[in-house]
Structure 1
């Protein structure tokens, strides 16, 4: 408690300093002058869609020097204050014909109305524009990370993209966490992904297919209530320019990696055909070790086992998304698409166990070789209907999607004591799973008055999963580790929310209701094990934002969230590459519920954008991983030949199980900031920092090797932090250089400690062929330092572990753009992919 008090006091002093710092450099207040407000809405003429980031410049008619100006928000709205007078007004947007008002006499508040811009075909055909959005956009209810200009991730995967996103961290196994919490919901184009192995699924999507990532740390009622930490929405690229255009990307890397993809689009006034197709061939090498000390009941040392693991992986696959968007009417759009992904590969693990006696004298070496093969196929059909009733945001969207996925894994494991005359043990594992998912969704948005907006909607999510897992030990099925899982999920939800603005205050209040029924059946248990979980809950949310000035604002938000255990948390299939340190899911996990509070501050200077949050989370029934002896032992032959006599001895090694369990409560308080700084036109700096203190209360009960029930006290208080810094600099000859570094601080756990680790990535990029093509070289994990290190202390075993999923990777990529500008901004496109629900936060 004392540590938490010091932590809060430190943050209080920080905010005091920040407030003082914010005032430095601000101009001295001038005498108050009466001003008037000039407002309006900018849209694209054909689609009637709002144009975000259109520029509005207001100049004195007698002096060409700009007096003031601004940009439009997500709804295309702008509002600018000026002193009464006669001005020239110009509204511009890239590749559109500007609208100008000359010699306009402005003496009172003036609404210029709806301003419809028309694309300038001459610019589209003849001009190459080097426009680029900021790497990180900060919006009122989310942060948007734009991938297009990030050289670090070229030739990589979605996991590489997420490693560079503020507030997000990815461990060496590919598990994603938000603000240090792994209970995060992953969306693809606004639709939740229910992949059993999310880490592997994210490695199968190439980074070149990603347009942006939306980070929603405190979601409103329009979003799924699931995801205690928040939501990450991965938005895929979609071509929208008129005519035929596209991009082609080819990459090669070391360890051996090849990739090729095409993002093509053909658009007429009524129809838009698009496809994004790619092939990926990727190898990677990993390594790990676990050094364990085993103890007798009197706490004396029994023996030592040093376990080393070397892994080689090969992944290859093709993925495509092809669709047609039909402009049924100028304000009505219907989009249908089919996605297909086929991935397969193999993995080779070589695990060695060096055995030592109590005096650290070597006794024997066991070798365990695991050769595995896996294949996966996914097909999804998605349909989206969008009806804009007017150009002020009144709209209805209806979504339908159906997906089916098949995955098969098998492995052959050979286990033997080196030098022994006994025959080796042979194990075969088989893991087959099939999943079908149906989603239905409808969202309605109705603007009310000036700055008000009402939303309501329904969503149904229906998911079936069948998983068969078996382990064959020397021709005999192991009943303790084999299972058949049947998982059925039915979730129905309705929501409503209302947002409005009063002077400088913006409000958004919402309520979501979800009804859940989940059947988890283990069909091969004696008499079959049926477990049905039913619950329905209300999930309120509230957001308040206050504009301190045009450059700064503060916000306060609250939401109630839940986390349903999924993927590897639920699936009882066993990771069997090591038979003395195994992982197994827990199908009896219950959901956890979280109350989230967030206080934010945003400040903009000419070259600096600073955004910070102080957050608090209280989670009931939180689930976490624990390790304990599961009651099984592995018999092992030790050839002790020190006396010159072949005298094999059998020893028993307890099996240590790692599995998730529900605990009591977790309280977490943290502080986070992001800082974007452009010291020079050619130099950009982005940084983020997150520190938090979490306190967990709970216990775990299990039966030891003698069948006696044991209780583990898992009460724990931990303080940790992580930070990232990215620098992008344009060198001579227009070569772009990007360098990024991340550090993850150490953290205490209930059973030991996770140690700190760091990673540095570097990339170079150069535009060629009159800026129609780009060549990029990037190095991931420059110093080969990305290793997960941990210490575990149990009653009968103490261990130190290291694990590196992928060693240093070097990629060279070539991108060619066909009839496209190098810009991230999508124009004249229906905004139906970014948000799961309807509109933006008011204001």
Structure 2
């Protein structure tokens, strides 16, 4: 701990020396002739305190310079401008002392003497104040759920917290997020896209770091139009307090396997620089198992899978406030993941074991990202220009081994895949905002995105070895040799150039936003398998308009009507025409003829604030053209197998409504409930047959938070997720009941959490289908688990962070946090 404080204090010293005079701040151009000195001691023990932060401010509360005390508690700070200044003396766990000084040519050296610091037992309250209950606010283009203690205690990570947010579902098996039942959703953190796998990222963000969750179900033209169901933006608490602040979070999940997660968040702000660092780790195993039964050939596939993985996430960066008008921010994110997947599949026909195959995949991934941001604020409030650049590169090699475990060996089923995946992303954008008047605002922006993907797959096949007499050599070792069987390669590049314009106007109680985004989308792909080469190109220009109208008849009532056009473009996995083995009876193949699907989305929302909480009612309609859907066809190479691919169905209409409420039933009992019902009409062709289906689904959540004492809380959470139906599958509903408790310890600086998920082990994925073959299936995972966690927060200092506009947002945010 002492070394950590010393490092942060040393950084403070360097930045204090590096203060840059600015013409926009005339006080900084005064003669810097002043010198102050003193000794800092503990009031009770009278011992010297090393590494104490000394901050010098002018009368306008702007930081001029600073320093730290040495091992003897002494300090000397030079080059203090003439005039009145304020000296703030800060140290972790102590009350901040404030002294006023006046530097002049006559009195340029001031000795403050011995300064006694008192211990601060309630300093933590200045760092973070979280409301008792969550609230909902409907803004011009988003619904904002301000996270209170009722949602924070619902989960230890962002992934678990989001599963308690209305309209949002997190798959307990895969970690995939869906919004209004659709997984085609973008996830942003502080308004920025993430280059890290979303499921991994959300497990690393502590729920206590989340300030609010923004549901942008109908995004405006300012946003990237990809993501049919909308955008989920996670807003983190501003972590730019003066001085040093940190939190440590760790936990253990116990089920069929034990899994560990931990994270540490730190920041140090001094002078004009805010340094931040975040580190998170997840380690453990997950078991999954399932069965698929076909009735046409009396076959049964039994799956037993285990995923053993560990992942690490590090983010380090800084915000540099040159002056009130210029801010520069940079950070790097380093993410690594090691993974061993072990899957066993048994296939029986008429109760006779026909195949017992094993797949072992040893994979890893490394992602490195770098972000640079510069913001220029003009004289007029809200008038600014923001430049941003993102660079991201990742590598994810794999070694997959497929073996048939039944003798006599069928060596055509024994082979290895050596896979090399490389991806690179470059993003450059400019955002300009100009308030034309008190009631109007103009937003303009340009963006260029370049995505490159390269994949190489070498397949080696085992072949029999015979002796000179033609007999198979089978001594347990030297009975086969490995030869090159197949080679595949694909390169897939996407370039997107876009520009947007938004105009905002307020008429008394009515607010309006009109906008349009213009995009040029270019794709160039090459797929190679052996001697076969397939080229894929696409070149599309599209316009994405948006319109929002918000009416506030009073402070407690709000109505909103909105429209936007969005797109879902085929991914590389959906268009890759190279056939891949999935299971002994299923082969996966992409469709290079896939077209983008476009969505026209309409929404109406009403929000009512009342004394004990809030109430929101919303309805929506979406018209999807050329809907991309997953299709199972009879495998043209083997009619006993099925081929998993993708196709554009004729149309897809989705409409529904949702109700949500936060309500304080009693002083000790608060509830957070949401209900949504949506209908989806879909038509398309599968196996040459025209199919049409209407799917109705109901989802319900109820979270109860009980306050037993000031430091002890209990929670009971219930969820019901209705079944679904597509043109080929019917999925059964799922439900879950969780319970938990949290206890504040160590004078409020620590929190112990206990939780049991899926008490009745009712979460399972169960389906049935009649096309292409009559079949049923069910998959289970480790849904019933117990969790114990501990979080400790330490640090001090009042929040003096300078907010700045974050990309893809209309609010000020800091540069720190997980991204």
Q: CA deviation at 1:326?
A: 0.6
- Once residues 731 and 683 of structure 1 are traced to their aligned partners in structure 2, the CA distance between those partners, rounded to angstroms, is 9
Give the equivalent residue in structure 2 for 1:7. Answer: none
304-313 vs 271-280, greater mean Cα deviation: 304-313
Q: Do residues 830 (structure 1) and 803 (structure 2) align?
A: yes
Q: State the 1:205 CA deviation.
A: 6.5
Q: Are the counterparts in 2 of residues 239 and 263 from structure 1 also a CA contact under 8 Å? A: no
- TM-superposed deviation, 1:517: 0.4
Match of 2:269 in 1: 267
Query: 1:238–1:405: structure 2 CA closer, same or farther, 3 Å change rule?
Result: farther
| Residue-pair matches, total | 677
For 2:430, the equivalent position in structure 1 comes to 442
1:762 aligns with 2:739: yes
Q: TM-score, normalised by structure 1?
A: 0.75
Measured in 1, the distance between the counterparts of 2:174 and 2:414 equals 27
Aligned to 2:653: 667
* Cα-to-partner distance string for 1:427-463 (whole Å, 9 max, x where unaligned): 3233321111011111111112222111111111111
Residues 313 and 345 in structure 1, CA contact (< 8 A), matched pair in contact too: yes
1:316 match: secondary structure? strand
Residue in 2 aligned with 1:77?
A: none
1:691 match: 677
Residue 186 of structure 2 is matched in structure 1 by 185
SS at match of 1:221: coil
CA 1:47 to 1:663, structure 2 compared with 1: closer, same or farther past 3 Å? Answer: farther
Match of 1:610 in 2: 615
Note the alpha carbon deviations across 1:136-187, whole angstroms, 9 max, x for none. Answer: 532312233456744566555x543432232122334333322122322233
Query: Is the alpha carbon distance of 1:549 and 1:145 closer, same or farther for their aligned partners in structure 2, counting shifts above 3 Å?
Result: closer
Superposed CA offset, 1:623-672 (max 9, x none): 01111122233xxxxxxxxxxxxxxxxxxx72212222111211111111
Question: In the alignment, what sits opposite 2:524?
Answer: 519
Which of 472, 484, 487 pairs up with 2:489? 484
Taking a change above 3 Å as real, the CA distance of residues 600 and 765 of structure 1, as seen in their structure-2 partners, is: same
Partners of 1:438 and 1:729 in 2: CA distance: 48
- Of the candidates 562, 581, 584, which is equivalent to residue 579 of structure 1? 584
User: For each residue in 1:548-607, what CA deviation from the matched residue of structure 2 results, as whole angstroms up to 9, or x when unmatched?
Assistant: 322112110001111112264345576645221344443442211111100111111111
Q: 1:248, 1:214 → 2: CA distance?
A: 25
CA deviations on 1:164-213 (whole Å, 9 max, x unpaired) are 23212233433332212232223344333467x76567667676765543
Are positions 1:247 and 2:260 aligned together? no
In the alignment, which of 499, 503, 506 is matched to residue 501 of structure 1?
A: 506
The structure-2 alpha-carbon separation of the partners of 1:670 and 1:719, relative to structure 1 and needing over 3 Å to count, comes to: same
Are 1:682 and 2:668 matched, yes or no? Answer: yes
Please give the residue correspondences for 1:237-636 in structure 2 after superposition, counting only pairs within 5 Å.
Answer: 239-254=239-254, 255-294=257-296, 303-356=297-350, 362-390=351-379, 392-417=381-406, 425-474=413-462, 475=482, 483-524=488-529, 526-566=531-571, 568-571=573-576, 576=581, 578-633=583-638
Equivalent in 740, 744, 749 of residue 772 of structure 1: 749
How big is the shift at 1:382? Answer: 0.4
Q: SS of the counterpart of 1:543?
A: strand
- Give the conservation status (yes or no) of the 8 Å contact 2:215–2:232: yes
For 1:741-792, what per-residue CA distance to the aligned partner results, in whole angstroms no more than 9, with x for missing partners?
A: 2211122221231111122333211110000111112233332222111111
Corresponding residue SS for 1:244? strand
Conservation of the 8 A alpha-carbon contact between 1:215 and 1:232: yes
Shift of 1:414: 1.8
1:741 is aligned to 2:740: no
C-alpha separation between the residues in 1 aligned to 2:485 and 2:771?
A: 27
* Matches of 1:569 and 1:826, distance apart in 2: 48
Q: Alpha carbons of 1:287 and 1:46: their partners in 2 closer, same or farther (altered >3 Å)? A: farther
Question: Residue 738 and residue 138 in structure 1: after superposition, are their counterparts in 2 closer, same or farther (change >3 A)?
Answer: same
Contact 2:346/2:353 (<8 A) preserved: no
Q: Secondary structure at the match of 2:403?
A: strand
Shift of 1:697: 2.5
In the alignment, the residues of structure 2 paired with residue 575 and residue 238 of structure 1 have an alpha-carbon distance, to the nearest angstrom, of: 46
TM-score with structure 2 setting the length:
0.77
CA–CA distance in 1 between the matches of 2:205 and 2:361? Answer: 21
2:322 partner SS: strand
CA, structure 1 residues 606+493, in 2 after alignment: closer, same or farther (shift >3 Å)?
Answer: same
Following superposition, the deviation at residue 810 of structure 1 comes to: 2.3
**CA deviation profile, 1:512-561 (whole Å, cap 9, x unmatched):** 11111011221336452111111111111100011132211211000111
- Do the aligned residues in 1 keep the contact of 2:697 with 2:722 (CA within 8 Å)? yes
Would the aligned equivalents of 1:630 and 1:655 in 2 still touch at CA under 8 Å?
yes
Unaligned runs of at least 5 residues, structure 2: 1-58, 64-94, 97-116, 463-481, 813-819
For the 8 Å contact 1:286–1:807, the answer to whether it is kept is no
SS of the equivalent of 2:637 reads strand
Displacement of 1:327 in angstroms is 0.6
Q: Distance in 1 between matches of 2:380 and 2:750?
A: 37
Distance in 2 separating the partners of 1:185 and 1:162: 14
CA–CA distance in structure 2, aligned partners of residues 174 and 575 of structure 1: 24
Structure 1 unmatched runs, 5+: 1-43, 49-94, 97-120, 295-302, 357-361, 634-652, 701-709
Quote the RMSD (CA, aligned, Å): 3.1
2:358/2:405 contact within 8 Å kept: no
Q: Deviations over 1:459-514 (max 9, x none)?
A: 111110112235445346665xx632211011111111111111211111111111
Q: Do the aligned partners of residues 670 and 469 (structure 1) sit closer, same or farther apart at CA in structure 2, a change above 3 Å counting?
A: farther
Distance in structure 2 (CA, Å) of the matches to 1:439 and 1:153 = 36
The CA distance in 1 between the partners of 2:272 and 2:727, in whole Å, is: 60
Whole-angstrom distance in 2 between the partners of 1:163 and 1:768: 27
Q: Name whichever of 578-587 and 237-246 sits farther off.
A: 578-587
Q: CA 1:838–1:548 in 2, change beyond 3 Å: closer, same or farther?
A: closer
For the residue of structure 2 that corresponds to 1:486, the secondary structure is: strand
Matches within 5 A, 1:724-739: 724-732=701-709, 734-739=711-716
